[in-house]
Amino acid sequence: MLHVYRTTDTIANERYLFEVDTFFDELVEAGMHDFLHEKLYRNIIYQVDGARLNPDLSVSGKFGLTNLFNISSGCKAILLAVYYSNDRNAWVNFNSAGENALRLMYNLAKHIEIRIKYDGVVTASNECLVEFRGVTMTASKCLAESRKGIL
């Protein structure tokens, strides 16, 4: 399920991962990156950035051989959202994610809990349930309400 939080909302006891790049980079620098070698995370890096994570944590992609700090913000946002999917208090800022990253995230949200801070219009398919301010609805209803300015 996709849980959406708007700028004007308040969430008790939340941990809001606002600066996605900084938070992700610090996670990697702190050595907390083993999870990235799992298939799900490697697939995310490939699908969003067209890049491959190597065993030594270098990244081979469009810009040649680089490192995890240079993957896109949208990719980092999805990696964090999936990594923290079991933490009910962690919300990831998705406002810098491109359309391709959002589409992948909607797809993942059909199967796992994703919590995002997002001020745009949610355009997930109806197979994705969306929770908005405590109310669960289909994605199409969420889209209709967003367009009316209700959500």
Partner 1 sequence: MSKEYTLKVDINHVHVSIDLHDKIVLIMGDSGTGKTYIFNMLRRYELGGNASIVKSNIPNKNIVTIKSKEDAHYKLVTCNRCTDDIIIFDKTEDYFDSKLVDWINKHPNRCIIMARGFKTNGIKARLESAKELEMEKIGEHTYLKTVDA
For partner 1, the binding residues (CB under 8 A) are 18-19, 21, 48-51, 62-64, 70-75, 93, 95-101, 119-120
Rounded least distance, CB 135 to partner 1, Å: 22
Rounded least distance, CB 145 to partner 1, Å: 17
Nearer to partner 1, 71 or 86 (CB): 71
Nearer to partner 1, 61 or 88 (CB): 61
**Can you say how many angstroms the Cα of residue 91 is from the centroid of all Cα atoms in its chain?**
9
Q: Which residue has the tokens 């938070």?
A: 23
d(C-alpha 110, C-alpha 48), whole Å: 18
Nearer to partner 1, 67 or 136 (CB): 67
Quick check: helix, strand or coil at residue 38? coil
Rounded least distance, CB 123 to partner 1, Å: 12
Nearer to partner 1, 64 or 134 (CB): 64
Half-sphere exposure of 107 (CA within 13 A, CB side): 11
Contact 124, 139 (CB under 8 A): yes
Rounded least distance, CB 79 to partner 1, Å: 12
d(C-alpha 123, C-alpha 74), whole Å: 16
